[in-house]
Amino acid sequence: MRAPPLFARVVLALHSWQLLAAFEEITKKNVLRLKEERSDIDEKQNLPQMILSTVLDYSGAVCVRVRLRVEPLLANTSLQIESTELDARNSHAILVWRSHENSTVRWRRLPKGHNRRVKVDPCCFTNNEHLDLRKTLVWEMQFDCFKAQVDRAVRVSVHDVNRTLSEAFYAPTVHHSYLRDAVPRYDVREDTSAKLFTVNMDAGQELFARLCYKNLAPECKGNTSSRINTDLDPVVTFSIPHLVPCICVQLYYTGVDARRDTTCPFKDKRLPGGGDILSSSSLKLYGSSVLEWKPLCPSDPSTPAVSLCWQHHKNHSQCFPVQNSTLHDRDWKYNVTAVDKHAHMCVKFSLNDSQRVFCPFSSGVFSEWDVTVVTGSQRLHVRLSSSITASFSAQLCVEEEGEYVAKGNVHSVHMEEGTEEVELSLPLNFFIPALCVQVWRSEPFLHGKRIICPDYTHRRWGLVIAFSLAFLITLTAVGFLTYIFIKKKTSVWRCAERKPVLLVSSSDDAVHVAAVCALASGLQEELHTDVRLAQWAHCSTHASLAQLGPAPWLYGQCQEVQQAGGVVLLAWSLEAQQAFLQWRESGGKKERENSWWRGKISDEEKDTVWSNEQHKDKQKEGWMERASSVTDPVFNATLSSLWSGLHSERCGQGFGLVCFQDLGGSRHIPKELRGVRRYCLPRDLSSLIHELDLKESSPGGGDKKASRGWCCWPRFFSKALSFWLSHRLAQRLEAWLPQKKQDREKSKLILKLSHKPHGKLKKKKKKLKKKGEKKRKGPVTVHS
């Protein structure tokens, strides 16, 4: 008799266990939370404290939530929380223990469960509370899901290893309509500038959320919903696609027929701008006479202004407004029967400084007439064609500040049905750029004007070609006149009288002699300067160097050059320093020789000497074979003249020292000659050219007429010529200056040897020099 009720109880218990297992998988509330806080020391005597409450599942099942306040567990200690159904004798338990990690607590379900960890959350600690001895640490544990059934009592107890710490009885009760009418707990915050909705939801909920649009209908229509577990995602952010008044946030539980809670933050609010209202709307053409505008929020009282505009072929992003073409609506429906339905005739909606353009006639052929514009030489030809009887008008216009303003008179024409083409001629004004033509049907009247801008490319290219030819002719004429002027001035400057130059070489080195010759030829060819060079005079058949001898020739040339205001340039080298030191040592003897050659003996004695020498052919052949015999005596004579000039009233004026780069002569000029002006070539070529110009700095003022002509020249022109000539001379010199590493090492070696003060080496050089002089001169007889 009692078997059926017992069997029914077993079946009901098994069913309840299945529901509870399914509930555990759905809700996923099997989570232990633990936080640590400080409390009054008096509360420690009342611990542990336990509070039981009911947690509802959205499918109908319930759980018992346990909140427990206990003292913190010590290391390697445990605590067990157990829930037992009194009628079914079903029990559930969790075991909590503390390992060596101070901030981590481990727990698991009994009898079988995986070990889990939970971090201790320190709540509301301040520095003062840590120092307060009247407070003590307390743990608050919360476990949300001990499975239970409605109106069935459970016993919840807390145990440690040896004893029961606390025990309580609880019977969960829930009203049946609560599960269907319950709504989620949340809060919505809006950000209009960023177009975002931020939804903050309470923990312990599983729900759906979405954006939707709430209009006059009771249902909020929108996108699909997203399932959210608030334990994992308590805050959700929605991006607002369109900032309109009817956009809302809707949340509801996951149960069947759950109540949906909708929040509309922008309801009864005035939103900034109207761009989103227009961009979210649509426009539809019904037949060929009605346009219907459909906003996303029909309940919104905002009403845009609507007018016609013309869109060009080349620029689809800009639509130019048509004057006097406003459209009026009735329930957002616009009658367009009397509108010119061309493919480029569009409708512009304006709301709160925002605009949107719709082109509803671009998808079909609705126009009954057509027009083309052709440019002429002085007129614009407007060609009209129509399939009906109508009158048309045309007028010139020009774009000003985004609108087309009419220019000139209105020209009209009437066309009968069947007429193929009619042409209107409009006079073209060349003083108004980018002229266009606006054409409209005047009878029967249609709203809208077609704006046609002809292509002026061919006319523009003609003007461009004409101006280009004129510019090229002008440029050619200016260039030709400039060339003639520069050529004239250059020829005058190049052919002007210049100071003569006496250039003296100080070394028999091939590179040095080549550089000296390159400088001499450059000055003579580029500046037309009179250059005297011993090497040229020695090689010339008409020169007097071989007749007078090196020293007399030098003194004569030096006197002529200085009287003409010229410059004596001494090309310094590495060997020049040794020669200068030897010349200083033998200064007395050189002075006697120089005095002899300067005329302290009679002319008859000179003739006798040279006649005796000419009779001795062998001695003369030996002297001629020594090609470099002119270098040393000419250089020594130049040193004598330079030394005399330095100790005279002129203080070395009319003399100059020339040093070549990469030949190592600029660093070894003796201190006694530092007062003489120096030129390091090719760097100082412009200064040398300026010094040789007779019209600027001749001793006697030079040619006054030429000087006046030179002063009238522009300063820039003279500087440019000097720079150009110095550049050309520099190219000549660089071709002969040593550039190889072997040449530089050879120069350094010569420099090194020249600085070694060996007495024996000097004596040997003197002996060799005396022997060479005896062989060269031979027996010379001087008659007193």
- Lowest-pLDDT range of 127-141, 236-250, 344-358: 127-141
Task: Tell me the pTM.
Answer: 0.45
- Lowest-pLDDT range of 142-146, 312-316, 547-551, 779-783: 779-783
236, amino acid identity: V
pLDDT attached to residue 619: 35
Residue 328 or residue 681, greater confidence: 328
pLDDT attached to residue 495: 55
pLDDT attached to residue 765: 47
* Pairing assessment for the beta strands 655-660 and 677-681 based on DSSP bridges: parallel
Dist. CA 330–CA 321, nearest whole Å: 22
- Check whether 764 has a pLDDT greater than 80: no
pLDDT attached to residue 757: 42
User: Which residue pairs from 265-273 have beta carbons closer than 8 angstroms and sit at least 24 positions apart in sequence?
Assistant: 265/188, 265/190, 265/197, 266/190, 267/214, 269/245, 271/192, 271/243, 271/244, 271/245, 272/192, 272/352, 273/243, 273/352, 273/353, 273/354
- Check whether 308 has a pLDDT greater than 70: yes
pLDDT attached to residue 298: 87
- Check whether 669 has a pLDDT greater than 90: no
- Lowest-pLDDT range of 71-85, 608-622, 666-680, 739-753: 608-622
What topology is assigned to 183-263 in CATH? Immunoglobulin-like (2.60.40)
What topology is assigned to 24-170 in CATH? Immunoglobulin-like (2.60.40)
What topology is assigned to 369-459 in CATH? Immunoglobulin-like (2.60.40)
pLDDT attached to residue 356: 92
Cα first-last separation, the chain: 183
Whether the bond into 48 is cis, omega within 30 of 0: yes
690 contacts 696 by C-beta, under 8 angstroms: yes
Residue 494 or residue 657, greater confidence: 657
- Supply φ then ψ for residue 223, to 5 degrees: -80, 175
Dist. CA 496–CA 494, nearest whole Å: 6
DSSP track, 35-99: EEEEEEGGGGGG--EEEEEEEE-TTS-EEEEEEEEEPPPPTT-EEEEEEEETTT--EEEEEEEE-
**Model confidence pLDDT, tens digit, residues 374-420:** 887 778 899 999 988 999 999 999 988 888 899 889 999 999 887 77
Average pLDDT for the chain: 75
- Check whether 678 has a pLDDT greater than 80: yes
Mean pLDDT of 446-452: 91
Top-ranked range on mean pLDDT: pick from 360-374, 532-546, 588-602, 636-650: 360-374
Tokens of 745: 């090492």
Residue 305 pLDDT grade (very low, low, confident, very high; cuts 50, 70, 90): very high
Decide if 369-459 and 495-602+627-769 have a common fold: no
Q: How many C-beta neighbours within 10 Å does residue 779 have?
A: 9
- Check whether 107 has a pLDDT greater than 70: yes
Mean pLDDT of 542-569: 80
pLDDT attached to residue 327: 93
pLDDT attached to residue 777: 45
* Pairing assessment for the beta strands 655-660 and 567-571 based on DSSP bridges: parallel
- Check whether 94 has a pLDDT greater than 50: yes
pLDDT attached to residue 33: 86
**Model confidence pLDDT, tens digit, residues 147-165:** 887 778 888 999 887 888 8
Architecture (CATH level 2) of domain 275-358:
Sandwich (2.60)
**Model confidence pLDDT, tens digit, residues 489-543:** 666 555 556 688 888 888 888 888 888 888 888 888 877 788 888 878 766 554 5
Residue 7 pLDDT grade (very low, low, confident, very high; cuts 50, 70, 90): low
Residue 301 or residue 758, greater confidence: 301
Residue 225 or residue 695, greater confidence: 225
**Model confidence pLDDT, tens digit, residues 12-39:** 555 555 444 444 444 445 678 888 888 7
pLDDT attached to residue 3: 44
Dist. CA 261–CA 61, nearest whole Å: 22
- Check whether 455 has a pLDDT greater than 80: no
**Model confidence pLDDT, tens digit, residues 586-608:** 764 444 444 433 443 344 434 43
pLDDT attached to residue 511: 82
- Check whether 647 has a pLDDT greater than 90: no
Dist. CA 240–CA 277, nearest whole Å: 13
- Lowest-pLDDT range of 81-85, 238-242, 567-571, 694-698: 694-698
The percent of residues in the chain predicted with pLDDT above 70, rounded, is 71
329 contacts 293 by C-beta, under 8 angstroms: yes
Residue 283 pLDDT grade (very low, low, confident, very high; cuts 50, 70, 90): very high
Residue 473 pLDDT grade (very low, low, confident, very high; cuts 50, 70, 90): very high
Mean pLDDT of 297-315: 84
Out of 3.50.50.60, 3.40.50.11530, 3.40.50.1980, 3.90.550.10, the CATH code matching 495-602+627-769 is 3.40.50.11530
Dist. CA 209–CA 172, nearest whole Å: 29
Residue 43 or residue 334, greater confidence: 334
Mean pLDDT of 287-291: 88
Nearest partner of 105 among 90, 91, 94, 89, judged by Cα: 94
375 contacts 436 by C-beta, under 8 angstroms: no
Where do the domains of the chain lie?
A: 24-170, 183-263, 275-358, 369-459, 495-602+627-769
- Lowest-pLDDT range of 204-213, 266-275, 472-481, 486-495: 486-495
Residue 247 or residue 363, greater confidence: 247
DSSP H or E stretch at residue 442: strand 436-443
Question: Which CA distances in Å does 108 have to 34, 56, 96?
Answer: 14, 23, 7
Residue 316 pLDDT grade (very low, low, confident, very high; cuts 50, 70, 90): low
Residue 235 or residue 533, greater confidence: 235
